[in-house]
Amino acid sequence: MARCECGADFAPGMKFCPNCGKKKDEDSQRLEGGTIQDSVLVRSNVGQASVGNINIDMGAKSERMMICTACSNPISEKNEVLVCEEDDAKFCQRCELQFRRGIPRQQGEPVLCKKCYKESLKRKEEEQRKRKETEEAQRNVEEEARRKREVEERERQQIQEAQQQKSEKGSSPEPKDAGGWYTKGCIHYDAKEYDEAIKCFKEARIMMWHDTFSLHYQIPIYYMLACAYAQIKDYDNALPELTSWIQSTNNPKEIPHMMQQISDNKALTSFCKTKQFQDLINRAKAWEAGFTRRQ
C-alpha cells in the first residue's frame, strides 16, 4: 500500500491523498507486511485482501486507517461512518449519497442503509397511494352530497312555486254568481284538484236557484259535480247528482243519450261498473216509461 508524504495511506485504487489531497506519484512510500482486522480493507505486499480490525501493524510503526467495506472509500472527517437506525448496518456518507441518488438526508430524517431506505420508499409510495384513494373517495362523497343538495334545492323551489301559484289562485276574489263558481270549479277539475272543484260546484248549485243564470247552467253543474265525485271514488255522492241531472230534463228522448254520455265518460268508467249505476239505469228506464205514459 502506498503512503503520501504527509504520512496518510492511499487505499487501493485511490489517486489522491485523503488527508492533504496530493496526487499519488510513483515515489510514494509503500507499506510492507501489513495485516487487516475489523471493518477495514488493507492490501498486503502479495496482493491479498481481507476484512478485520482497523489496526494495521507495520513492524515498529503502527497506524490506524478505516475503509468502508461497502464502497472501499476511506473514512475521514468528510466521509463519516453511519449506522442504520433499523438494522444497525454500517456504511459511509458516500454510500448514502450513492443509493439516495444525490438526494441529501433532511434534518430529522432517520439514518437508513440501502435496504431499509428502499423499503421506506415503498412504504411512502403505498401511503401516498392510499392517501390519494382516500382523497378521491372523499371528493366523490362530497360531489354526491353536492348533487343531492342541488336536487333538494330544485324540489324545494318547485314546491314553493306551486304553493305560491296556489295561494295566488286562492287569493283571487270569490265569484258572485253560479256561473262564476261553475267556471272556477271547471278550472280546478282540469287541474285535477277535485276537492276544490266539488266545493265550487256545490256553491254554484246553491246559487243557481237565486239568479237567472241558473236556467242555463243547472244541468252541467249536476253532471260535473257527479264527475268530480267519481274521480275521488265517492260513488255514493255521485249517484244522486247524476239522478238529479237526468231528472232535470223534460224530454224523455234525451234520457238514452244522457245514459250513453255517462257510459262514454272516462271519468265515470269505474262508476259504470258499480251497483249504483245499475240502479241509475233502472230509474232512468222508469222515468222514460212514465214520461211516455203521460204523453
Q: Which three cell numbers stand for residue 224?
A: 260535473
pLDDT average, residue stretch 243-263: 78
> What integer pLDDT is reported at residue 32 of this predicted model?
34
| Residue at a domain's end among 79, 97, 113 | 79
Q: Indicate whether 119 belongs to any domain.
A: no
Q: Indicate whether 13 belongs to any domain.
A: yes
Q: Indicate whether 165 belongs to any domain.
A: no
Within the chain, residue ranges assigned H as helices are 93-99, 114-170, 178-190, 194-207, 214-231, 235-247, 254-264, 275-294
Bridge partners, residue 83, by sequence: 90
> What integer pLDDT is reported at residue 139 of this predicted model?
93
Q: At what angle do helices 235-247 and 214-231 cross, to 10 degrees?
A: 150
C-alpha dist (Å) from residue 56 to 35, 40, 46: 5, 9, 16
pLDDT of 38 over the 50 cut: no
Q: What is the pLDDT of residues 171-204, one digit of tens each?
A: 567 877 888 888 898 999 999 899 999 999 898 8
Q: Indicate whether 108 belongs to any domain.
A: no
pLDDT of 12 over the 70 cut: no
Q: Indicate whether 158 belongs to any domain.
A: no
Residue 125: band (very low, low, confident or very high) from pLDDT cuts 50, 70, 90: very high
pLDDT average, residue stretch 64-77: 81
Q: Indicate whether 67 belongs to any domain.
A: yes
Q: Indicate whether 110 belongs to any domain.
A: no
| Average per-residue pLDDT for the chain | 75
| Residue at a domain's end among 79, 104, 136 | 79
Percent of the chain having pLDDT more than 70? 69
Residue 128: band (very low, low, confident or very high) from pLDDT cuts 50, 70, 90: very high
| Residue at a domain's end among 36, 56, 79 | 79
> What integer pLDDT is reported at residue 260 of this predicted model?
83
Per the structure, the count of domains in the chain is 2
Residue, of 114 and 46, whose pLDDT is higher: 114
Distance CA 222, CA 219 (A): 6
> What integer pLDDT is reported at residue 150 of this predicted model?
92
Cβ density class 1-18: b for 16+ within 10 Å, e for less? bbbbeeebbbbeebeebb
C-alpha dist (Å) from residue 117 to 72, 101, 130: 21, 12, 20
Domain assignment of residue 13, given as a range: 2-79
Q: What is the pLDDT of residues 204-250, one digit of tens each?
A: 888 876 665 555 545 578 888 889 998 898 888 888 888 888 777 77
CATH number at residue 189: 1.25.40.10
